Amino acid sequence: MTSSRLVPAGVARNWPGMTWAALGMAAAIAIAAPVRGHAADAFPSKPIVMVVPFAAGGPTDVVARSVAAAMSKSLGQSVVVENRLGAGGTVSASYVAKAAPDGYTILIHHNGMATAPALYSKLSYKPLTDFAFVGQVADVPMTLLGRHDLPPNSLPELVTYIQKNQSKVNLANAGLGAVSQLCGMLFQKAIGVDLQAIPYQGTAPAMTALLGGQVDVLCDQTTQTLPHIKADKVKLYGVTTVDRIQALPNAPTLREGGLKGFEVKVWHGVYAPKGTPPAVIDKLNGALRAALKDPAVAARLQELGAVIVPEDKQTPEGLRTWLAAEIDKWSPIIKAAGVKAD
């Protein structure tokens, strides 16, 4: 006869009234439970992949690599950045949504996480329900620029100039779904014009076109624009944040220039696949928050004009709440403009 000593204590008390099949199942469950707990405790036991939806060297990639390196210190394992390009970030997001929910594949994404539902008719994931949230990272201000020889010298002059010459003025962006496109859409709506939009494959070629005088106006983030602004190679008409920014203390906000309620910034969040164990999310969040306190990370992000988000936004709930609000903000604007990326 089988000895009750071979059966976990919690099962042995009840086993005389159980069938052998039920007894075996109960024993397996009892034995597996501490193994699962141990696996969560041991996380991470191998390198973690942080998927970036955009090209190496781009603004999101630069933020990701700074944060990943610092997270590695806390986790005791490398956090390796992997660039997976395509379809405005939806390729990467879909890949991570379908990855094993074990914490070893995570995603860092910007505003595109909130705009994809309105931009794509067929999206293979739902941003609010197909991910576990780790936390927000940093906000990057946008800047409204003109080519160096564009006649207006201030935002009010630019608005007047565009309203009188809108058929002759074009507006560059970094591609469908890019934050530069969203910023341009909001700018056109704010001043009541419809400009010719010229999309490029990324922020770098859009900026190259502006520097070369092939386009007139561009709205892009400080991670890309600061060097050219400081070198006086472009005209700066303002920053898109509520308050002036430390990186450009003399630059007025667009609100100061008369565009009331105008605010656009590039924000970044870290996500894991839905179903990732809470204990693993806690460890990832702890490493993220430690990274954002790292002096080297703070200094690097400050160089880029980025601002680390407040601690309440660095939490899983902080990111989820922000994402929901951003979806509500941008969906009607995108739908009203009739813009589709597919």
Report which of residues 43 and 12 the model is more confident about: 43
Considering only CA atoms, give the Rg of the chain.
25
pLDDT at 15 over 90: no
Amino acid 191 reads I
Are the C-beta atoms of residues 221 and 111 closer than 8 Å to each other?
Answer: no
Are the C-beta atoms of residues 237 and 190 closer than 8 Å to each other?
Answer: no
**Average pLDDT of the residues of the chain:** 89
What lies within 8 Å, CB to CB, of 23 at 6+ separation is 7, 11, 15
Q: What is the predicted pLDDT for the residue at 4?
A: 40
pLDDT digit string, tens, across residues 237-293: 999 999 999 889 999 999 999 998 898 999 999 999 999 999 999 999 999 999 999
Helix H or strand E segment including 204: helix 203-211
Mean pLDDT in residue range 292-312:
92
Report which of residues 234 and 18 the model is more confident about: 234
Instruction: List C-alpha distances in Å: 73 to 8, 41, 66, 80.
Output: 39, 17, 12, 12
> In the chain, which segments carry CATH 3.40.190.150?
48-139+268-337
Handedness of CA 294, 296, 299, 300 (dihedral sign): negative
pLDDT digit string, tens, across residues 101-157: 999 999 999 999 999 999 998 999 999 999 999 999 999 999 999 999 999 999 999
Helix (H, G, I), strand (E, B) or coil at 309: coil
Q: Which CATH number fits domain 48-139+268-337: 3.30.360.10, 3.30.1540.10, 3.40.190.150, 3.40.50.410?
A: 3.40.190.150
Q: What is the predicted pLDDT for the residue at 24?
A: 52
Are the C-beta atoms of residues 11 and 23 closer than 8 Å to each other?
Answer: yes
Determine which of 139-143, 275-279, 301-305, 310-314 has the lowest per-residue pLDDT on average.
Answer: 301-305
pLDDT at 26 over 60: no
- CA 342 – CA 91 distance, rounded (Å): 13
Mean pLDDT in residue range 159-165:
97
Tell me which residue of 50, 61, 57, 124 sits closest to 87, measured CA to CA.
124
- Per-residue pLDDT band at 39 (split at 50, 70, 90): low
Determine which of 12-16, 89-93, 210-214, 309-313 has the lowest per-residue pLDDT on average.
Answer: 12-16
Tell me which residue of 239, 175, 230 sits closest to 205, measured CA to CA.
175
Q: What is the predicted pLDDT for the residue at 337?
A: 80
Q: What is the predicted pLDDT for the residue at 5?
A: 40
Within 10 angstroms of residue 279's Cβ, the number of other Cβ atoms is 15
Are the C-beta atoms of residues 289 and 135 closer than 8 Å to each other?
Answer: yes
pLDDT at 3 over 50: no
* 316, burial (CB in 10 Å: exposed 0-12, middle 13-18, buried 19+): buried
CATH top class, domain 141-239: alpha beta
pLDDT at 12 over 80: no
Q: Which residues pair with 170 in a beta bridge?
A: 196
Q: What is the predicted pLDDT for the residue at 67?
A: 97
> In the chain, which segments carry CATH 3.40.190.10?
141-239
Helix (H, G, I), strand (E, B) or coil at 306: coil
Dihedral, CA of residue 220, residue 249, residue 299 and residue 81, to nearest 10: -10
pLDDT at 298 over 70: yes
Phi/psi of residue 332, each to 5°?
A: -65, -35
Tokens representing residue 253 in the block: 């906000």
Query: With b meaning 16 or more CB within 10 Å and e meaning fewer, what string describes 94-121?
Result: bbbbebebbbbbbbbbbbbbbbbbbbbe
